[in-house]
Amino acid sequence: MPLPIPSFLSRWLRASFPRHRTDRSNQSPLAGRRVPPDIGPISPKVTVLIPTFNRPAMLERALKSVIESGCSGLVIRVFDNGSTDEAKAVIDRLKKSDVPIHYQKNPVNIGPIANFQQALGCVDTDYFVPLADDDWVYPDFIPKALAMLEADRALGAAIYVTEARDCGGKLLETYPQVPDQRRFGRLEPAEHMEDWLRFGHYAWSSILWRRSVLETVGAPYLHAGLPSDVDFQLRVFARFPIFRVNQPGAGYLIHEGQGGAALSASHLADWARIFLALDRHVEIQELFPRSKYAALRKIALTRYRPLWRRGSPETATESLEDLAVLAGICLDDWEYALELLQRAQEGQCRSGPDLGFARPPHWNRANPSDPADALDLCNESSGSEHCEARLDAAILGHLRAHFLSRLKVP
């Protein structure tokens, strides 16, 4: 404890050093304290992308879930695909919140894929979340996922569980599926892709992505039509480690009118693009031995096969043979390839756009490399399991070079 200064010494100090006297009557209470410089508003770190069309009530729920997520440094971008309802009124009501909301409306509906591509092209923050207008995020998902990506700069994404619920709120399933069989925590590309191929892809809304993954995928970012979410994920996960968390991050509403419910045989060429891209990325990154990848690829094909067999492909009869080639060679679905050939022969499908796989003029029925002749061999075989064996390796190579190059897989 310091000794008190004697009164006579105190008087002598005040008289000898008058410069230490200070009149504090008009001083600010902050005088003497260190005041930090004015750095202005905090720059946003996370963009939440919300494409929307004619769903004002669902859009409002999605927006409120982001606003109430408890994360600073957020910005919301809404991409209205030409709605004819009160979407703008919803935005105006919520613009007073602490989270900036930017609204962009297309003069006409440009389609869901083009609208989503437009949204991805506008990301200018370090991280982003694509949130469907009929989904919602749970509190703490974004701030916790952001902390993970900030702590580990190598991660391409932080993935939480998405809960699929019906309109009454009942839990129907989760994405990722079978979470009790999944691995969680930090996963390198090979171990993560093994899980991904075995158990399926994720819903968009519970994934926080690092913006740099967009450079890996490449503009316009959605390369495979309606199932482009599968394609986007495989391109990123084949190259980047991720962190997977066994906690709900978002809700996914099951209802009529969802985009995924429209997948059908008309998207068979898109699935062919996806599996060609998968083949290439697995090979480039050297993720698996060939035999292991063949087994994993077969598991994935079996899971998605029902999606490209739904309904009838809306394409001209002369294009059904091209679809048969894609089904057989790209997707290893020779049984469906034979079914498509049968439809072509019977002329069951006569309307719709052609895929553009026109045969060179020198190809004819007498040419042993003609794809129709090659697939006729399958048609004459005793079972679909023998089809591939009946096709000569040179014919397969010729078919791949001619047809699959037209798919323009980036």
Q: Whole-number mean pLDDT of the chain? A: 79
- Cis omega (within 30 of 0) for bond into 220: yes
Alpha-carbon distance 4 to 6, whole Å? 6
DSSP, collapsed to helix, strand or coil, labels residue 391 as: coil
Maximum pairwise Cα distance, the chain? 123
Alpha-carbon distance 264 to 318, whole Å? 19
Residue 54 confidence class, pLDDT cut points 50, 70, 90: very high
Integer CA distances (angstroms), 15 to 5, 7, 11, 12, 102, in order: 15, 13, 6, 5, 66
Alpha-carbon distance 268 to 319, whole Å? 12
Per the confidence metrics, is the pTM higher than 0.85?
no
State the CB neighbour count (10 A cutoff) for residue 180: 5
pLDDT at 406: 55
Class of domain 46-262: alpha beta
pLDDT at 280 > cutoff 50: yes
pLDDT at 316 > cutoff 80: no
Alpha-carbon distance 282 to 300, whole Å? 14
State the CB neighbour count (10 A cutoff) for residue 374: 22
pLDDT-above-90 percentage for the chain: 52
pLDDT at 323: 83
Residue range 264-283: average pLDDT?
90
> Of the segments 8-22, 43-57, 84-98, which one has the largest average pLDDT value?
43-57
Q: Supply the Cα-derived Rg of the chain in whole angstroms.
A: 30
pLDDT at 14: 54
pLDDT at 347: 67
In this predicted model, what pLDDT tens digit does every residue of 208-226 receive, in sequence order?
999 999 999 999 999 999 9
Cα 147–Cα 200–Cα 211 angle in degrees, nearest 5: 35
In this predicted model, what pLDDT tens digit does every residue of 28-47 receive, in sequence order?
333 444 434 444 456 789 99
Alpha-carbon distance 393 to 395, whole Å? 5
Q: Contact 36/67 with Cβ under 8 angstroms? A: no
Alpha-carbon distance 79 to 106, whole Å? 8
Alpha-carbon distance 340 to 324, whole Å? 6
End-to-end CA distance of the chain: 76
Domains of the chain, residue spans: 46-262, 265-407
**Nearest of 304, 350, 343 to residue 321 by alpha carbon:** 343
Which residue has better confidence, 74 or 357? Answer: 74
Question: Alpha helix locations (H) across 109-267?
Answer: 112-120, 141-151, 189-199, 213-217, 228-237
- Cis omega (within 30 of 0) for bond into 176: yes
Roughly what angle, to the nearest 10 degrees, separates helices 268-285 and 228-237?
Answer: 0
Q: Contact 266/311 with Cβ under 8 angstroms? A: yes
Roughly what angle, to the nearest 10 degrees, separates helices 393-403 and 317-325?
Answer: 120
Positive or negative torsion for Cα 395, 401, 407, 410:
positive
> Of the segments 84-98, 145-159, 173-187, 356-370, which one has the largest average pLDDT value?
145-159
